[in-house]
Structure 1
Amino acid sequence: MPTDPAFEIANPDGRPDVLLLCDHASNRVPPEVCGGDLGLPPEDMARHIAYDVGARGVTLELARLLDAPAVLSTFSRLVIDPNRGEDDPTLIMKLYDGSVIPGNRHVDGTETARRLSDWHRPYHDAIRARIARAEAVGARPALISIHSFTPQLRGRAPRPWHVGVLWDRDSRLAAPLLELLRAEPDLCVGDNEPYSGQLQGDCMWTHGTRRGLPHALIEIRNDLIADPEGERAWARRLAPILRRALDRAAAPA
């Protein structure tokens, strides 16, 4: 069994009608996985391939500003990706943006099952527990997932967006959020960019779409939140926008 939990809870007594999530908050490799070292150099473990740079800091500051609880992962996406379904072929990456992951090269079914049991499922169980806690007091929490993306993948075109909103079939929160972000004159805003939110089995599908909860995934370009000052600035910018979008999402149709 792991020595440390697969998740952390921030602001546990915050408002029950909002739940913040951060799937890729950490680049930590637990000691139970390859002795805590996947065989990558430190510069690779500091890249987006290992975690979402800046996302944890933005999430924690938003939890404070919105007075909302947050569930954050405590392990690298290279250990196992909590934003993928259990049967997704990219659940445990062996090659990512030009870097071979030595510690994952020989992962078999037994090791995959262990990582699912020890890290992937406990993270999702923590989200389910927070949703159940909110529902126990009559709230239907809106889910807001915070991610970041690299300005350019190797061999690909530069990405112009400052921020993107990912969503699938439920636009209750995504639509007002996109409208409010696009009203900011200095922002280039992506609608399902740089990735599509239409991925069956991902975190928003699992906890939002399947449960009928309003939800949206926010992607921030990671050079904008690469230090604590940038994290705080973006959280302060997003907080009032999110308050207004949440109000609109909760308004009767």
Structure 2
Amino acid sequence: MTEKAPFLIFGADRPGRFLVTCDHATNRVPEELGGDLGISEADMQRHIAYDIGARGVTRELARLLNSPSIETDFSRLVIDPNRGETDPTLVMKLYDGTIIAGNRNADAAEVERRLNAYHRPYHMAYEALAAQRDNVVICAVHSFTPQLKTRPPRPWQIGILSAYDRRFTDPFIKALEASPTLKAEVEQRGERLVIGDNEPYDGHLPGDAIDIHALKHGRLNLLIELRSDLIETEADQLRWAGLLAPILTETLKTTGL
């Protein structure tokens, strides 16, 4: 058993249509797993352990949207809640050049135990929140590292990921591209606004969180990926949530979805 619930919910009774989620909110490794999975503190601070900055954006975005949020309280290295139960990357043993020593001997029985202790409770709570409204819009918040080892730098400041249901995604991308405040934010850094459509990676994995909670139920959805160097500090996280919230609200209003 885990020592506490493996997720946190904020504003469960808020009336807004959005459900803002953060699958990779923290780098916490429970004490029952040694607290670090046998890797260095420096590695635990990298993107391999969690989505840097995503938790702060999620909480503030949900507050601004007057909508509930849910976030994990365990590292993606313990077990990845944004992967289906049969996904081979569910429990990673090697990630962006780092061997995850604490997962070396994670056999089928251990994976099943972690599913029951962490993965499944999170998804049960996630689904219960999503089911509160017939017209819920699921907005998943993630972050991506500016550069993987041995790979070129990533040019996007923000990526919007989706599968075959692009009802909300397409108009939201257009609204982002047309936003003068977003352009000004990026230009202050000496960059040109580059928005990824299913970049820096494809937006759909069978059995992933959006598949399970949105696509299979016909719920409106989008997945926002922010480049992590843009949201490292609390001030950055609040600012980016403030940039995105009105665009999300206006997109929902203008599309009539």
Task: Report the TM-score, using the length of structure 1 for normalisation.
Answer: 0.95
Q: Which residue of 2 aligns with 1:170?
A: 165
Deviation sequence 1:91-110 (CA, Å, 0-9, x none): 00000000000000111011
Instruction: Give deviations 1:88-128, integer Å, cap 9, x for gaps.
Output: 00000000000000000111011000000010001100111
Q: CA deviation at 1:37?
A: 2.2
CA offset at residue 248 of structure 1? 3.8
SS in 2 for 1:230: helix
Name the Cα RMSD after superposition. Answer: 1.1
Instruction: Give the aligned residue type for 2:115.
Output: L
Cross-structure match for 1:72: 71
1:176/1:248 contact within 8 Å kept:
no
Contact 1:55 1:146 in 2 (8 A): yes
Q: For 1:82 and 1:198, how far apart are their aligned partners in 2?
A: 14
1:236 corresponds to which of 232, 242, 249: 242
Tell me the matched-pair count: 246
Q: Retained in 2: the 8 A contact 1:148–1:220?
A: yes
Contact 2:25 2:71 survives alignment (8 Å): yes
Amino acid at match of 2:195: V
In 1, are the aligned partners of 2:23 and 2:82 still within 8 Å (CA)? Answer: yes
CA–CA separation in structure 1 for the residues paired with 2:17 and 2:67: 8
1:166–1:193 contact (8 Å) kept in structure 2: yes
Runs (4+) of structure 1 exceeding 3 A deviation are: none
Q: CA deviation at 1:16?
A: 4.8
Matched residue, 2:118: 119
Q: 1:198, CA displacement in angstroms?
A: 2.2
Of 107-116 and 174-183, deviating more is: 174-183
Deviations for 1:34-93, whole angstroms, at most 9, x for unmatched residues?
x22201111110110000000000000011111110010000000000000000000000
The secondary structure found in structure 2 opposite 1:37 is coil
SS at match of 1:133: coil
Q: What is the deviation of 1:133?
A: 2.3
* Unaligned segments of structure 1, at least 5 residues: none
- CA shift digits 1:169-209 (9 cap, x unpaired): 11111111111111134421000000111211111111111
Gaps of at least 5 residues in structure 2 are 187-192
Which amino acid in 2 is paired with 1:157? Answer: P
Q: List aligned pairs for 1:20-59, cutoff 5 A.
A: 20-33=20-33, 35-59=34-58
Specify the SS of the correspondent of 2:139.
strand
The answer for the alignment partner of 1:89 in structure 2 is 88
User: Cα offset for 1:227?
Assistant: 0.7
Which shows bigger deviation, 48-57 or 172-181?
172-181
| Contact map agreement 2:61 2:241 (CA 8 A) in 1 | yes
Q: Classify the secondary structure of the residue corresponding to 2:226.
A: strand
**Contact 2:16-2:66 at 8 Å conserved across structures:** no
The answer as to 2:14 corresponding to 1:14 is yes
CA–CA distance in structure 2, aligned partners of residues 95 and 176 of structure 1: 37
Q: Which of 197, 200, 207 is residue 191 of structure 1 equivalent to?
A: 197
Q: Secondary structure at the match of 2:204?
A: coil
- The question of whether the paired residues in 1 share the 8 Å contact of 2:29 and 2:75 is answered with yes
- Equivalent residue number for residue 104 of structure 2: 105
Q: Which residue of 1 aligns with 2:252?
A: 246
Q: Deviations over 1:198-230 (max 9, x none)?
A: 211111111111010010000000000011011
Change (3 A) 1:248 1:212: farther
Counterpart of 2:232 in structure 1 is: 226
Residue identity in the other structure for 1:125? M
User: Mean Cα displacement is larger for which, 11-20 or 142-151?
Assistant: 11-20
